């Protein structure tokens, strides 16, 4: 029997790098340190990384201590669902509990944008459905990606107090 010589080599399809923007928030424990630690942890999930300044905001739709927020831009090869899995793993490692909606939290990580993707599934919605109504997302996002935030959106949120720390 002759050896088979003309067998094509199968290579897995390559993935393109995607710029994802992750909103980070915390209002329990050492919130500023939680946000900084989460930003550093996110850096390990991608090739390039940029982080906004930290901002302080009052909780929306809930009571509790003020939040510390930031947004990270991350170039990643992860799919959006795989990225969500990694974010939830980081939240759990930081002691995140979900006793009720809008509960205070040690860490909250949300994918707000994933390239130009539009995803609407039971588990994941991108762009994040409430990002356009939250100064704590748009102000830090505008800092690191001014082309992704329209001035009209920011103007509409002028009544939401947000302070760079």
- Find the catalytic residue in 110, 118, 123, 148: 110
Per-residue pLDDT band at 103 (split at 50, 70, 90): low
pLDDT in tens, 31-52: 999 999 999 999 888 777 899 9
- Find the catalytic residue in 105, 134, 163, 164: 105
What is the separation of C-alpha 157 from the centre of its chain, rounded to a whole number of angstroms?
A: 20
Q: Give the tokens for residue 87.
A: 């974010």
- Find the catalytic residue in 30, 66, 82, 108: 108
Residue 105 annotated as catalytic: yes
Return the bridge partners of 120, or none: 125
What is the separation of C-alpha 63 from the centre of its chain, rounded to a whole number of angstroms?
A: 23
pLDDT in tens, 110-146: 999 999 999 999 999 999 999 999 999 999 999 999 9
- Which residue, among 104, 108, 81, has the nearest Cα to 94 in the 3D structure? 108
Per-residue pLDDT band at 3 (split at 50, 70, 90): very low
- Which residue, among 121, 141, 153, has the nearest Cα to 24 in the 3D structure? 141
pLDDT in tens, 62-89: 778 999 999 999 999 999 999 999 999 9
pLDDT confidence of residue 12: 53
Surface-to-core class of residue 134, CB atoms within 10 Å of its CB (0-12 exposed, 13-18 middle, 19+ buried): buried
Surface-to-core class of residue 113, CB atoms within 10 Å of its CB (0-12 exposed, 13-18 middle, 19+ buried): buried
- Count the neighbouring beta carbons within 10 Å of the beta carbon of residue 126: 23
pLDDT confidence of residue 114: 97
Are 49 and 43 within 8 A, CB to CB? yes
Return the bridge partners of 69, or none: 25, 55
Residue 75 annotated as catalytic: no
- Find the catalytic residue in 96, 98, 120, 159: 96
């Amino acid at each position: 029997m002759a050896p088979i010589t003309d067998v094509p080599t199968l290579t897995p399809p390559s993935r393109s790098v995607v710029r994802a923007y992750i909103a980070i928030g915390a209002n329990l424990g050492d919130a500023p340190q939680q946000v900084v630690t989460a930003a550093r942890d996110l850096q390990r999930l991608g090739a390039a990384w940029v982080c906004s300044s930290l901002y302080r905001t009052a909780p929306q739709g809930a009571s509790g201590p003020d939040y510390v927020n930031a947004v990270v831009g991350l170039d990643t090869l992860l799919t959006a669902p795989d990225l969500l899995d990694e974010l939830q793993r980081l939240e759990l490692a930081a002691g995140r509990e979900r006793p009720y909606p809008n509960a205070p939290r040690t860490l909250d990580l949300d994918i707000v944008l994933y390239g130009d993707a539009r995803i609407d599934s039971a588990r994941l919605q991108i762009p994040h459905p409430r990002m356009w109504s939250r100064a704590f997302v748009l102000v830090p996002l505008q800092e690191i990606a001014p082309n992704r935030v329209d001035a009209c959106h920011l103007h509409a949120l002028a009544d939401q107090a947000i302070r760079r720390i």
